[in-house]
Amino acid sequence: NAGVTQTPKFRVLKTGQSMTLLCAQDMNHEYMYWYRQDPGMGLRLIHYSVGEGTTAKGEVPDGYNVSRLKKQNFLLGLESAAPSQTSVYFCASSWSGASYEQYFGPGTRLTVT
Amino acid sequence: GENVEQHPSTLSVQEGDSAVIKCTYSDSASNYFPWYKQELGKGPQLIIDIRSNVGEKKDQRIAVTLNKTAKHFSLHITETQPEDSAVYFCAASWGYSTLTFGKGTMLLVSP
């Protein structure tokens, strides 16, 4: 099993450009999460999904959109990138809710200039 | 929402010493408290967790304690080794679906 994979690993965008980050998991997990990690700020939840076709806002959702059209995939979109969105983005999945282990992907390092 | 405070932000120890990282949480309804380890360039990985009906849990050299009354929990690593060097995050459940993470502790174990 590959676990949780993220595409791409690195990306540089100019302000105003758009992009989509792809997360895929092969563990048949119901729950999927997108976090951003900034120095000294820990992991902050952007959006999450409790099942195929569902999405919900996390702590820092502004400027991001998500979609979960297939159970194994969770997409994070930036419609108009801003320098404040420079960060490392992690996707995670879990079998059920918060009381279950979250499995993290390797991360995507995004730089917005 | 839930607020998780983690201390210290950095911790340097000599190989063989013990290390303790402490976290406090704000929501008395939180009932699940995991600890994640993040090695350089990788995603976080669960190392140990504790549920609110348990006061202490141990797994080889690592242990976690929970004080629900005081709303704090701690990670204890004994006989530290250089491979324990990493960033450690505590977290607390918030509602049914999500975790709130602390800001992390960078642990450096010197040979």
Inter-chain residue contact B96 with A33, CB threshold 8 Å:
no
Distance of alpha carbon A47 from alpha carbon A60, whole angstroms:
8
Residue-level pLDDT at B95: 83
Distance of alpha carbon B94 from alpha carbon B31, whole angstroms:
8
Closest-CA distance, A82 to chain B, in angstroms, reads: 23
Band of the pLDDT at A98, cuts 50, 70, 90?
confident
Per residue in A21-58, pLDDT (tens digit) is: 999 999 999 999 999 999 888 999 999 999 999 999 99
Could you give the C-alpha distances from A94 to A15, A19, A49, in angstroms and in order? Answer: 33, 25, 10
Helix (H, G, I), strand (E, B) or coil at B84: helix
Q: What are the chain B neighbours of A35 within 8 Å (beta carbons)?
A: 101
What is the DSSP pairing of strand A64-67 with strand A73-78?
antiparallel
Band of the pLDDT at B54, cuts 50, 70, 90?
confident
Chain B residue nearest residue A45, CA to CA: B100
Inter-chain residue contact A98 with B103, CB threshold 8 Å:
no
Closest-CA distance, A96 to chain B, in angstroms, reads: 8
CA B77 from chain centre, in angstroms, equals 10
Residue-level pLDDT at B16: 98
Q: Inform me whether the pLDDT recorded for A1 exceeds 80.
A: no
Residue-level pLDDT at A10: 97
Per residue in A61-70, pLDDT (tens digit) is: 999 999 999 9
Residue-level pLDDT at A13: 97
Per residue in B1-42, pLDDT (tens digit) is: 889 999 999 999 999 999 999 999 999 999 999 999 999 999
> Is the Cα dihedral A23, A28, A34, A37 positive or negative?
negative
Distance of alpha carbon A64 from alpha carbon A58, whole angstroms:
11
Per residue in B59-88, pLDDT (tens digit) is: 999 999 999 999 999 999 999 999 999 999
Cβ of residue A61 closer than 8 Å to a chain B Cβ: no
